[in-house]
Amino acid sequence: MLIKSAEFVMSNSDVAKCPKGTLPEYAFIGRSNVGKSSLINMLTNRKSLAKTSGRPGKTQLINHFLINKNWHLVDLPGYGYARVSKSSKKTFQKFITQYFSFRQQLVTAFVLVDIRHTPQPIDLEFMQWLGENGIPFSIIFTKADKLKPNAINNHIEAYKNILLETWEEMPNHFITSSSKNTGKEEVLHYIDNLNTN
């Protein structure tokens, strides 16, 4: 899919205030610092459409971006960042939960996990919660540039083994690197197919 335009629409912490209308949307979620905002920039060929940072906790709101004037990408705050205060953690959790529970326009979520790490309970629990709530999702393994191809395969195999303990099959997944621009066509193609179905 060719990205002809990508525009910031709005940021907010209330799902009721998200853009109205019926445009399909795709949300990126995962631990703080996993590379959600960087991936949005990679997919849209923009350097700083979504704000990124080396320090976790950069994205704090629900951010809508309008792509090709006919669908939305949504950048969300990360979960699992230990240094935010308890009260702001609660607020995050509340609006993320509400976003996924009530956002009718959401076609699918992309759960990002850092390819270098072994499967983490927080990610597995989040996927479980999506499954229990009937919210479709794919997994995006990020930062693939940090591992050699062999290690990538081993890590994905380990993930598969753990997921297959609770899931009937391995969820749809992608391998990406925002710094090396890999995995972009696969993700965009997947979205394109969903948009036209």
Among 153, 179, 181, 193, binds ligand GTP (CB under 6 A): 179
Residues 6+ apart with CB under 8 A from 184: 42, 43, 176
Q: Does 183 engage in binding with ligand GTP (CB under 6 A)?
A: no
Residue 96 or residue 163: which is nearer to Mg ion going by CB? 96
From Mg ion, ligand GTP, none, interface partner of 35 (C-beta below 5 to 8 A by class): ligand GTP
Q: Does 145 engage in binding with ligand GTP (CB under 6 A)?
A: yes
- What minimum distance in Å lies between the beta carbon of 22 and ligand GTP? 27
- What minimum distance in Å lies between the beta carbon of 27 and ligand GTP? 12
Candidates 9, 11, 194, 17; CA nearest to 98 is: 17
Rounded CA separation 50/91 (Å): 21
36-44 vs 184-196: helix crossing angle, rounded to 10 = 80
Helix or strand holding residue 114 (H, E):
strand 106-114
From ligand GTP, Mg ion, none, interface partner of 145 (C-beta below 5 to 8 A by class): ligand GTP
Residues 6+ apart with CB under 8 A from 71: 23, 24, 25, 26, 191, 195
Rounded CA separation 79/123 (Å): 9
Binding flags for ligand GTP, 50-79, as an x/- string (CB under 6 A): --xxx-xxxx-----------------xx-
DSSP letter (8 states) at residue 16: G
Q: Does 38 engage in binding with ligand GTP (CB under 6 A)?
A: yes
Residue nearest to ligand GTP (CB): 78
Rounded CA separation 68/45 (Å): 13
Binding flags for ligand GTP, 81-120, as an x/- string (CB under 6 A): ----------------------------------------
Chain contacts with ligand GTP (rule: CB under 6 A): 32-38, 52-54, 56-59, 77-78, 142-143, 145-146, 177-179
Chain contacts with Mg ion (rule: CB under 5 A): 36-37, 58-59
